Chains A and B, each alone.
Chain A
Amino acid sequence: MFFRKSIIALTGLFLCIFLIVHLSANSILLLPEETARGLYNSYSTTLRESPLIKIVAYVLYLSIILHVVYALLITLNNRRAKSKAYAVNRNKENSSWTSQNMGLLGIMILLFIVVHLANFWARIKLGMGEGVGLDANGHVDVYEVTYSLFQNMYYVGFYSLLMIPLGLHLHHGLKSAFMTLGFYHKKGLKFLAKAALVYAAIMAIGFGIIPLIVFLK
């Protein structure tokens, strides 16, 4: 179990770093259209064509799969360890709701990832569904894909609302990952608790607000 927990922690931390890069790229969408379209499309083209990013992408896919599979195995084992649920359980008085429901939050995020991959990855990388045009520079027009998707208010709602479970999951996950990996410095952990809150808030608000801004633009 220690090995599995460590894998969950390591893949989780890798995904945390990935999110920072992802959000930085998303923020290009907030620039005025003339700059944003060219920049966003050339950025995504560079990513797709870089061999280094290809390796990182496979590490990313593997991280998500390992994170989910090992979390599932650990959860099943943990369920077996509890013989019977308490008739009355006031666990809200001794721990956060988030920490008690990481699995549920994880499932919500996984659902989001599936829809998100279907919207972008499947269309752009796998060429499934509606074709994607080129921009003035001959780059695949990912900007257009994004903007047209976020004209649909249901997608905007889905993308924005599901950033709440993401933020909660990150808040507990970041702290927990460090402790799982053996970080036990008292002052460091106090700082980590604050840093995790700031990080989770930036991720949730950042990812959640961009679709709204795009919708209202």
Chain B
Amino acid sequence: MKVTFKIWRQENKSSKGNFESYDVEGLTEDMSFLEALDHLNELLVAQNQKVIAFEYDCREGICGQCGVFINGRAHGPHDHMTTCQLHMRSFKDGETIVVEPWRATAFPVIKDLVVDRSALDNIIEKGGYISAKTGTAAEANAILIAKNVADRAMDAAACIGCGACVASCKNSSAALFTAAKINHLSSLPQGKHEATQRVLQMTRQMELEGFGSCTFTGACEVECPEGISLTNIAEMNARRAKAKWLG
């Protein structure tokens, strides 16, 4: 299989960056997208050129590191998928594949396809945790939690922080990420005690980081590898309004 990669190359944060085209042969459709990039990098090394920087860790769809914008979609052409789970069979032989880094002011490009997603960590630091000791797993099991509450918390907790929601949003809003973290913790008995300050501080930090506001296009929900529902954002808005006006 042969494809042309059109990839964003940028030396560092302050340089301008531009697209470079690479014709790559010898690919198979069973290769994952990241393996195809590895293959391209091996060719570049052989030619004594600089390799393309891109992020990955687990390569099994759970770590959230491997986010890039492929042919106009976050994580490529499929809904609810990470880049590492994407395979070359999703592309046609001879196709040109355009690969760009996540675009958001809050996610500056560090190098090529790698962006700095610390802004999401900064939001977590403002309340994406429970500060009291919650005990061991056995103790946690002693707290009765209704099945539907546990399920909803788990659905939100599935967020892997990949940033696809921000990348695919026309406003670069981090509302889905922030909402998932807030709803996950605040709906559980252990997280309820800090719910008020959590929602106020985390949403405030989200704005300070320079993310835009949510206009409910729903793009994030489709691109989210975990399929986290858009209703989480409405729930966050309700929690925020309650915290703000009722305390």
Contact = CB atoms under 8 A, between A and B. Distances in A.
Interface of A: 1-2, 4-6, 74, 77-78, 80-91, 93-96, 99-100, 102, 172, 175-176, 178-184, 186, 189
A81 B234 contact: no
Contacts of A90: 71-73
A179 B233 contact: yes
Interface string B205-244: 0010011111111110011000000111111011111101
Given A1-B207, A86-B69, A94-B223, A176 B215 contact: yes
Contact of A81 (B168, B212, B218, B230): B212
A95 B231 contact: no
A78 B72 contact: no
Contacts of A80: 105, 210, 212
B120 interface: no
A91 B231 contact: no
Interface residues of B, number: 47
Nearest to B19: A87
A90 B214 CA distance: 19
Nearest to B101: A84
Which residue, A6, A91, A96, A178, has most C-beta atoms of chain B within 10 A?
Answer: A91
Given A1-B207, A5-B213, A81-B211, 15 more contacts: A80-B212, A81-B106, A82-B212, A83-B108, A86-B69, A86-B100, A86-B103, A87-B98, A88-B98, A91-B217, A95-B219, A96-B218, A102-B215, A184-B232, A184-B238
Contacts of B244: 2
Contacts of A81: 104-106, 171-173, 210-212
